[in-house]
Amino acid sequence: MAAPGGPLRFWSALADLIRLRNQTGSFLLLFPTLWALVLAGEGHPPLPLVAIFTTGVFVMRSAGVAINDWWDRDLDRLVQRTRERPLASGRMQPYAALGVFGVLVATAAGLVSLLNPLAIVLAPIALLLAVLYPLAKRVMPLPQAVLGIAFGWGTVMAWSAVRNEVGWPALGLFAATVCWAIGYDTIYALQDLEDDQRIGVRSSALFFGNRCWIAVGGALLAMAAILALVGAATHLAPSFYLSLVLAMGFFVAQARQVRRGVSQAQAFALFKQHVGIGALILAGIWSGVLFR
């Protein structure tokens, strides 16, 4: 499986394939899962489940970007930001990336086997979504919605792992995560507007065009509204709503900045801010449960 140039080159390419040096995506997948674990666990999520899902998030996100790069290896060569990825640059062979994907999926399956039967039944959907997302940008005007569904599915699995049911709060967290992903991934897609248009890849940033700032602000505020409904249904304390108000301040500021126009570096910086927003909401849910 080693790429030409020896083991060191292969391990460096592997680290780049799974984005080892950039875990922003892992955190954006992890936080909604932790929201569900904390809320379903009444502020005291079972530590074994926290460990399983935290590890599983890293493994599945790594699997997701590996299969994404396999599907996109030819397209990535045409995009300035992605042309140095291992498969696009030739530092790793396609069969090696598929092997890595298989090992990661097998690892994830081992983690899933430790969960209850309901969570096990739900798990294959997560794998299907991870495989389908790279194809969505070839056929759908809004592929970010598929990413949101993939990221949100972790909330459904986490809730079911704690409660052995799929309760209404879990569906609310799922819907909020979908809206959140549409918002922040539209910002992320602003980095590649010209390249995506030239090579025919679809994205929400292209779809919304000049109204992109409205779409970003609307999706993020819809996320906050849905979370507020979840908070009301589960009787969370006022501290939770304070976290939402603070998050909404970030959302409005980001929408305004998108309206003014952002460079590639600014778009990536705005995208990364959502890790802090996810942590803020987690703190709000946790305190909202403990002090209600």
Q: What is the largest CA-CA distance in the chain?
A: 59
| CA–CA separation, 24 and 58 (whole Å) | 11
- Report the range of poorest mean pLDDT among 1-10, 32-41, 152-161, 248-257: 1-10
pLDDT digits (tens, 9 = 90+) for 200-209: 888 999 999 9
Instruction: Report the SS3 class of residue 200.
Output: coil
Q: What are phi and psi of 80, to 5 degrees?
A: -55, -45
* Torsional sign, CA 151, 145, 169, 233: positive
Helix residue ranges, H only, 41-72:
47-71
Q: What is the pLDDT of residue 291?
A: 95
The enclosing H or E element of 241 equals helix 238-260
Single out the residue of 19, 20, 23 nearest to residue 275, CA to CA: 23
Q: What is the pLDDT of residue 199?
A: 87
pLDDT digits (tens, 9 = 90+) for 85-138: 999 999 999 999 999 999 999 999 999 999 999 999 999 999 999 888 888 888
Q: What is the pLDDT of residue 7?
A: 79
What is the reported pTM? Answer: 0.94
CA angle 151, 82, 194 (to 5 degrees): 95
Task: Say yes or no to pLDDT of 4 above 80.
Answer: no
pLDDT, mean of residues 148-172: 97
pLDDT, mean of residues 258-267: 96
C-alpha distance from residue 84 to each of 64, 81, 286 (Å): 18, 8, 41
Residues 99/101/105/108 CA torsion (nearest 10 deg): 120
Indicate the average pLDDT of the chain: 95
Task: Say yes or no to pLDDT of 227 above 70.
Answer: yes
Single out the residue of 246, 247, 127, 229 nearest to residue 180, CA to CA: 247
Task: Say yes or no to pLDDT of 56 above 60.
Answer: yes
CATH top class, domain 7-290: mainly alpha
Label residue 5 by pLDDT band (50, 70, 90).
low
CA atoms within 13 Å, Cβ hemisphere of 148: 22
Task: Say yes or no to pLDDT of 1 above 70.
Answer: no
| CA–CA separation, 205 and 222 (whole Å) | 18
- For the chain, the structural domain boundaries read 7-290
